[in-house]
């Protein structure tokens, strides 16, 4: 029997203002940015579902570059992220997340706009589901997708956080 290498996923907590967000990375890059108010148990359940053979290790030092980029974003001094991500999903989800990365800082678009971008105009609901499955909040900017009528729609981080991120970007946009 061969030895199976157990994958290690490192995690830390980002503290910003009144929020604390769990973030995690594999050896390939950032794999998770959590929601405000989320518990460690929720992080653990999410990671066990996607990386069933992984061990979870707290390691703030390893995550410091990611923490710093996220803090710079929250402080309005960073508009894009440069560190690698390890985000896996279905081919459809990957296509949606790639489209999200094309939305410029400080801009918004609707779910139907994203459906048009991927040339599936009738797939608005599926687009919404794929956006909701984005595991790396903020770095893949799903907060930039709003309702067709301009309404702040659902967000895994909560609508309060979504509103905050949109206002931050509107203020800091050049």
Which SS3 state, helix, strand or coil, does residue 44 take? helix
Short-list 124, 14, 24, CA closest to 69: 14
CA 2 to chain centre: 35
| Residues forming the active site | 142
CB contact set of 121 (below 8 Å; sequence gap of 6+): 112, 115
Query: Which residues pair with residue 22 across a beta bridge?
Result: 13
């Amino acid at each position: 029997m061969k030895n199976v290498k157990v994958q290690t996923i490192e995690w830390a907590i980002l503290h910003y203002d009144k929020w604390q967000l769990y973030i995690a990375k594999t050896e390939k890059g950032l794999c998770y940015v959590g929601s405000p108010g989320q518990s460690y148990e929720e992080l653990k359940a999410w990671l066990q579902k996607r990386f069933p053979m992984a061990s979870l290790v707290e390691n703030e030092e390893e995550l410091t570059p990611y923490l710093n980029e996220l803090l710079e974003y929250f402080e309005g001094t960073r508009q894009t992220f440069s560190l690698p991500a390890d985000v896996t999903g279905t081919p459809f989800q990957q296509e949606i997340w790639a489209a999200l990365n094309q939305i410029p800082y400080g801009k918004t678009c609707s779910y139907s706009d994203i459906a048009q971008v991927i040339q599936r105009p009738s797939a608005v609901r599926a687009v919404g589901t794929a956006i909701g499955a984005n595991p790396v909040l903020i770095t893949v900017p799903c907060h930039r997708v709003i309702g067709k009528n301009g309404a702040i729609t659902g967000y895994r981080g909560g609508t309060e956080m979504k509103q905050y991120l949109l206002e931050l970007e509107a203020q800091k946009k050049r």
